[in-house]
Amino acid sequence: MEYRRPRRRRETRSGQPARCRRYDSPRCPWCPLRAYNFNSNVISVVQLGQVDYGEGLRLQRTLVERRKLGQVGDVLLLLEHSPVITLGRNAKAANVLASTEVLAARGVEVFECDRGGDVTFHGPGQLVGYPIFDLRGFSRQPSAVSYQEGPSNVAAESFPSWRKTLGAVDYVRRLEEVLIRTCGDFGIRTTRVAGLTGVWTEPDSVGPGSFGSAQDKLRPGRGGSETRRHTSPEAKIAAIGVHISRSVTSHGFAFNVNPDLSYFDLIVPCGITAKAVTSMEKELGRELDLNEVAQAVSRNFGSVFGSETLWVETIDALLGNTVGLPMKVPADLRRLHGEDEFSVG
């Protein structure tokens, strides 16, 4: 076998690492010294409360750039927005039905953004998730595409087809899977609809929830299951719109937990006129604790993406190189469990 000298890391005359010619960075995936730790399998979860949409965009851009440079690992932001209508790359202005005056009277902002999809609404009571993931970190995991129309209770590890990297379609299918499983945790049966992105209620039925002992602790006296009929046939309970740049994702999903659904009358949601919009509150007939839903979403991200999920209390802690350390779950959720502290993972 021919002997080859190992490649040396490029350095400047001063002995400092040379900056990457492609991305103007001292560390990048194209250099001999890899910036990414693909073996960590950790998703850091930050729950932010209510954030203005413009601030949310700026935060995403900061984290995306840091993820590309390998300065942070995979991050899941969970938050609510103040009332806002967003227009994706494929949006039609005609799908905003309300006038500027009506929007101003209701305190609704309007933003254009670079995610996929059409027009949607974000507001209080809706859990918004922004995964900032490097999809190359999931390149050794199986593909979810084969189960696009199949059962949603299949473990991520059992998806049969493999590919060299997690593609955009695979990624969106996994986001849907996370939300389908979360709805199931609360006794709401949901599904995919062929040709459409997002998560939809199954007509005419809400089955028994898959509540284990941990879930029962969150619902004392409920017996761990419930059965209700849907209030409407095949309605959208979660919307998904993503952006991917150099394998790093941004934007994500909007999960209707307890929002004021009258705001959706201001638009044609996702440009789809034939299907209604619903929420967990509407389907179950009761208001839900958003922190409880956020915990379920975090847990299902871990199982679907084959990663450990660790809570980080603040963005400052995240950017302060504390990623990967077990952190406290938000105080409201700890009080809900009657515990001083515990780790989620």
Q: Within a domain: residue 345?
A: no
* pLDDT the model gives residue 217: 34
Q: Within a domain: residue 261?
A: yes
Q: Within a domain: residue 212?
A: yes
Count of CA atoms in the C-beta half-sphere (13 A) of 166:
26
Top pLDDT among 154 and 64 is at 64
Cα torsion at 159, 155, 148, 186 (round to 10°)? 180
Distance, in Å, from the CA atom of 338 to the CA atom of 98, rounded to the nearest integer, reads 45
CATH code, 313 = 3.30.930.10
Show which residues are catalytic: 270
Distance, in Å, from the CA atom of 307 to the CA atom of 298, rounded to the nearest integer, reads 10
Domain carrying residue 146 = 42-337
Report which residue type is found at 303: S
* pLDDT the model gives residue 134: 94
* pLDDT the model gives residue 11: 47
Decide: 31 and 20 in contact? Cβ < 8 Å: yes
Q: Within a domain: residue 136?
A: yes
Decide: 279 and 263 in contact? Cβ < 8 Å: no
* pLDDT the model gives residue 91: 84
Residues with Cβ within 8 Å of 128's Cβ and at least 6 positions away in sequence, in order, are 56, 78, 79, 80, 81, 122, 252, 253, 254, 255
pLDDT tens-digit readout, 72-119: 999 999 999 999 999 988 888 889 999 999 999 999 999 888 888 889
* pLDDT the model gives residue 320: 75
Cα angle 262, 121, 184 (rounded to 5 degrees) comes to: 85
pLDDT tens-digit readout, 174-223: 999 999 999 999 999 999 999 999 999 987 654 443 333 333 333 333 33
Top pLDDT among 56 and 138 is at 56
Cα angle 137, 173, 231 (rounded to 5 degrees) comes to: 140
If one counts the domains in the chain, the total is 1
* pLDDT the model gives residue 343: 27
Average pLDDT of every residue of the chain? 76
Strands 248-256 and 74-81: unpaired
* pLDDT the model gives residue 28: 47
Cα torsion at 197, 183, 179, 276 (round to 10°)? 30
Give Dmax over CA atoms of the chain in angstroms.
75
Q: Within a domain: residue 253?
A: yes
Q: Within a domain: residue 100?
A: yes
* pLDDT the model gives residue 318: 86
Q: Within a domain: residue 13?
A: no
For residues 12-36, average pLDDT? 44
E strand or H helix that includes residue 238: strand 236-245
Q: Within a domain: residue 27?
A: no
pLDDT tens-digit readout, 114-168: 888 889 999 999 999 999 999 998 865 554 443 444 444 444 444 445 556 789 9
* pLDDT the model gives residue 140: 54
Top pLDDT among 202 and 3 is at 202
Report which residue type is found at 132: I
pTM of the shown model: 0.72
Report which residue type is found at 104: A
* pLDDT the model gives residue 147: 43
